Amino acid sequence: MENENPFKKIGLPPQEVPKELKQKVMDDVNAVKFIMEVTSLFSSNYASTVESMFKTKNKNNNNDTNK
């Protein structure tokens, strides 16, 4: 009896989730996905832009010293 895992009893028997709850969960998931995409847009592009600026600057500096 002491070796029984009480977590195995969770969700038994399986029950249908109310449609309103499903819709709320899907709306929340979509909101989080949107926030992640916006964050990715600003953070990753910003990082690559800064990186490309430094690469361009280094290339220009090397060309100036070779003249």
| Annotated domain spans of the chain | 6-59
Could you tell me how many residues make up the chain?
67
3-state helix, strand, coil in the chain (%, to 5): 80, 0, 20
pTM above threshold 0.75: no
Peptide bond before 13: cis, by omega within 30 degrees of 0? yes
3-47 confidence digits (pLDDT tens): 888 888 888 888 898 999 999 999 999 999 999 988 887 776 666
